[in-house]
Structure 1
Amino acid sequence: MPGTLWTILVAAVTAVATAVVTGVLVTPRLNARAKRIGEAHATRDTFNAHLQAVLSACVRLQLLPTDDPAWTPVMRERLTGERERWLQQLDDATQWMVDHVETYAGSWVLRQHIEFAVGYASTARMLWLSEREESTKLELLAALTVPVQRQFFGLWWSRARYYVEDQRAFAQALARLTGEPPAA
């Protein structure tokens, strides 16, 4: 009987000691890691939301008719208001992406992903701030954004399938932007 009691006591002390050590040393570290991972994913989701905002605003603005003689002054005013709102969305999205690039770009492991995200964010913002014609800015911004959105947030098989094509499309859009011939 004393042997059994001793075994139960040792097991209980071991369990308590293990629980205390785990609670003091391991659990805080795991909680901090879970928080960092959650924040990284939330920032990536926000990056994706801004990419989609850029794409949809570019498409809406490209499809918006400039003027129709049948429009009333009220209709013209409303569409002008919508156009300004979409332009502001583009400004806000590109500004957020360049201001927070270190938070979402640094969350990817591969160096090529980090460079791709940083290159896109800075190029998109500089393009938006440029003095180019609005239609050219919209066309180039959409051309830059499509491959980035697909590579970071597309389905896994489309990422692999279109990797080379997306890199080429991005390089071609950059070449059009800078006026240099694309690298072979």
Structure 2
Amino acid sequence: MPADPGVVETVTIALVTALVTTVGTQWLVVPRLEARKRRILDVHQARDQFLAEMRRILGAGGRLQNFEAPAPDDPACSPIMRERIEAGRARWVKQLENATEWLVDNVELYAPSWPTELLRDLISTYVAQAWAVMLSERQDTRKAELLVALTTPVWEVFGSRGWERRPPDIARAQRKLAALIAEMAAEADRRNAPAPAAA
């Protein structure tokens, strides 16, 4: 029994519609979704790297503070041991340099991805100050101490789970950061002040 012409038309229209929809979706929608997916993934990878670099600063900075360079006349430290300790300290300083370098060189990848101006300002202030500490002429142990102190309040905000990032926590981190920045500025002023004239 031959098919009804109306049924053939309906089936044909349905097939053509499905074909056009499939091809249109593959050509127009899927590439845009893939590009969006890649951009979102890039942002999350940059955020993860930001957290990893802060952990590196906390770790290397802590090690540098805990393992002081032995005194040159320390009889308990052999020349080989002294050389090994100094090599370890040099490696940790390099890790601090690399971490702060990554933070400042990639700030535009991760800082704008947080939703509030408060969070973005906290990151910008932290990164600028961490970089300034590494560029300074302070002793390595003091640099490590300052970097750990700068990183700790920021880690408390960004290293926590998203639902734990409450405005009071952010405000507390900003106050800690501001107090430390003021302390560093006062320290720099004291260091750069001219020596009193001899009587």
Q: Are 1:77 and 2:97 counterparts?
A: no
C-alpha separation in 1, matches of 2:165 and 2:173: 9
Match of 1:174 in 2: 181
User: Contact between 2:104 and 2:128, CA under 8 Å: does it hold in 1?
Assistant: yes
C-alpha separation in 1, matches of 2:177 and 2:151: 8
Q: Are 1:61 and 2:64 counterparts?
A: yes
Match of 1:21 in 2: 24
* Aligned-residue RMSD, C-alpha: 1.9
C-alpha separation in 2, matches of 1:116 and 1:103: 15
Q: Quick one: which amino acid aligns to residue 65 of structure 1?
A: E
Structure number with larger C-alpha Rg: 2
C-alpha separation in 2, matches of 1:101 and 1:48: 12
- What is the 5 A alignment of 1:134-145? 134-145=140-151
1:110-160 CA deviation, whole Å, 9 max, x = no partner?
Answer: 222222222211110111111223333222211110111221221234432
Shift of 1:90: 0.5
Match of 1:123 in 2: 129
35-44 or 3-12: bigger deviation: 3-12
- The alignment's TM-score, normalised by the length of structure 2, stands at 0.82
Moved over 4 A (4+): none
User: Contact between 1:150 and 1:158, CA under 8 Å: does it hold in 2?
Assistant: no
- The alignment's TM-score, normalised by the length of structure 1, stands at 0.89
C-alpha separation in 2, matches of 1:157 and 1:20: 41
User: Contact between 1:48 and 1:153, CA under 8 Å: does it hold in 2?
Assistant: yes
Shift of 1:24: 1.8
Aligned residues: 180
- What is the 5 A alignment of 1:10-49? 10-49=13-52
- What is the DSSP-based 3-state SS (H/G/I as helix, E as strand, rest coil) of the residue aligned with 2:49? helix
Q: Quick one: which amino acid aligns to residue 180 of structure 2?
A: A
147-156 or 64-73: bigger deviation: 64-73
C-alpha separation in 2, matches of 1:83 and 1:116: 29
Shift of 1:165: 2.2
Structure 1: gaps (5+ residues): none
59-68 or 151-160: bigger deviation: 151-160
User: Contact between 1:151 and 1:159, CA under 8 Å: does it hold in 2?
Assistant: yes
